[in-house]
Amino acid sequence: KQSSQGALPCLLCLLSHQFTAQKTHIFKENKQMWEGVMCLSKLQCVNMCLWLCVLWASGMGITTYTAARLLKGQLQNQKGEETVMTMDTFPNVGLAKTYSVDFQIADSAATATAYLCGVKTNLNIIGVNAAARNGICKTQKGNEVTSILKWAKDAGKSVGIVTTTRVQHATPATTYAHSASRKWYSDADMPDSAKKEGCKDIAFQLINNTDIDVIIGGGRKYMTPIGTKDPEYPMDYFSNGKRKDGHNLIQEWQNLKTGKVAHYVWNKTDFDAVDPETTDYLMALFEPGDLRFEEERDPSMDPSIVETTEKAIRILQKNPKGFFLLVEGGRIDQAHHAGRASMALHETLAFDLAIAKGLELTKEHETLTVVMADHSQPLTFNGYPFRGQSILGKSPLWAEDMLPFTTLMYGNGPGHKIINGKRPDIRNCLNSFAHPHVRSIFSTDLSLQSEVRVIKNGFCDLLKDISAGKMCEV
């Protein structure tokens, strides 16, 4: 029976882990899920996969995926429709329904908890079940759920997270943290009541919960005391350290790794100097917050998601017991929230290159590679454009107001403007549109309810129901 609560619990035999302790206190509210777990735990794998790579594209709905494919081809002077993405080559494809316990449309926190912990939960909370309530610390206690990263570590595997967001963001944080709010990045972001009740911020849990071998992303300012100058932007007040408790978590992480070969880096030069063959631990934080968008990235300062994925795999694969790696293309989602379709598509193309690099560095007969999105975004692709027409261009049709419109549109978000009762005339715009047309009263776009793709590659036959095209719920 297919698990109703997430794709990744199907990977139980990969980790040879029995979840009796976890099962006991949440069985009643997740009975169908745990019945599926017990059934799946009896399956015998065709091959035992040592390595598990989960590549996670936040906000990459099917429209984003299709538009990115066209953009890839058009950047290569092709029409675009016939282009093949790395993701198109995966042999097993399925769909996942996305909703949370309390809302029809889920966010990255609820979906990450479903995917990575196997338990559906409420909006805005991570690593806890639905008995917890958003922003209420005391409801977090006793309702914690563990992630597949923790299961892998307990099984003796090396583990890592790579993201283009801050490492304290909802998706990567769910691998190691339990929090009644996804926004408790540092103690400065928590209410005093939560701190008095004993809840810990996400950055603190990054260092003090699961022993993670590779941590790559952004989020320096949540790790250092308030007023600490950022090494890259020392004159920028908003890049300074935020912590009120005086903890320098970067230094504390280094102290915890005494006797190991551990590196902390914040720029590409130092990152490139890290030898994966001799490195036990790596923490690389390239920005105070989220990483720069791919279109704005300075390649001399910040490595690409392809480079960070490669470094992580080369460090982790030395473990003869295998590894678990989460790679998140998190800025796809954030570009959509800002109504920046071009940026979202370029982020998707970079993510696809990271998938290709992962496949290149791993062996198909011992690696399970799963690619998925957590939720969609309200991007539409319309207007009957001709074959080969720029995906970032205008429709050949005109609207009823006798003005042209963009092929890509958002159902909501910040881009819509009315000046003197009319839309802007875009006929003379030669550049790609920063904000495709959108009709909304919101300053940021809101996530879309839509099924998302789940694809897998590898000879370990663990996801039979997904392979058959059935639908999971996350």
pLDDT digits (tens, 9 = 90+) for 424-463: 666 666 454 545 555 443 444 444 445 677 877 765 544 3
In this structure, is residue 396 part of a structural domain? no
**89 is in which domain, residue-wise?**
8-377+451-473
What's the average model confidence in pLDDT over 200-217? Answer: 98
pLDDT over threshold 60, residue 40:
no
Tell whether 435 is in a known binding site.
Answer: no
Residue 37: pLDDT band (50, 70, 90) is low
Query: Has residue 395 been placed in a domain?
Result: no
Averaged pLDDT, 397-426: 76
For residues 125 and 178, the answer to whether their CB atoms sit within 8 Å is no
- Phi first, then psi: what are they for 366, rounded to 5°? -130, 10
Q: Does residue 128 belong to any structural domain of this protein?
A: yes
Q: Is residue 26 part of a domain?
A: yes
Q: Which residue has the higher pLDDT, 5 or 225?
A: 225
Residue 264 has pLDDT above 70, yes or no: yes
Instruction: Determine the average pLDDT of the residues in 34-39.
Output: 62
Dist. CA 352–CA 182, nearest whole Å:
27
- Please tell me the least confidently modeled range out of 40-44, 93-97, 151-155: 40-44
Q: 328 has which bridge partners?
A: 56, 163
pTM: 0.85
375 marked among binding-site residues: yes
Among 3, 4, 58, 108, the one annotated catalytic:
108
Which residue has 């692709």 as its token pair? Answer: 381
Chain segment 59-92, per-residue pLDDT in tens: 899 999 999 999 999 999 999 999 999 999 998 8
β-pairing, 367-373 vs 452-457, is antiparallel
State mean pLDDT over 376-389: 88
Q: What rounded mean pLDDT belongs to the chain?
A: 85
- Asked if residue 338 belongs to a domain, the reply is yes
Find the range with the poorest average confidence among 69-78, 92-101, 221-230: 92-101
Instruction: Pick left, alpha or beta for residue 176 (phi over 0 → left; psi -120 to 50 → alpha; otherwise beta).
Output: alpha
Does residue 425 form part of some domain? no
Q: Is 337 annotated in some ligand binding site?
A: yes
- Helix, strand, coil % over all residues of the chain, rounded to 5: 30, 20, 50
Higher pLDDT, 33 or 242: 242
Domain membership of residue 146 (yes or no) is yes
328 is in an annotated binding site: yes
Number of domains the chain is built from:
1
Give helix 305-316 / helix 341-361 axis angle, nearest 10°.
Answer: 30
pLDDT at 454: 82
390 assigned to active site: no
Of the listed ranges 290-299, 319-328, 359-368, the least confidently predicted one is 359-368
Q: H/E element holding 162?
A: strand 158-166
Is 247 marked as binding a ligand? no
What the block records as the tokens of 396 is: 């050949």
Longest dimension (CA), the chain: 70
Residue 270 lies in a domain: yes
State yes or no: 352 annotated in a binding site: no
The DSSP string of 227-241 is TPPPSS-TT-GGGS-
CATH of the domain at 247: 3.40.720.10
N-term to C-term CA, the chain: 16
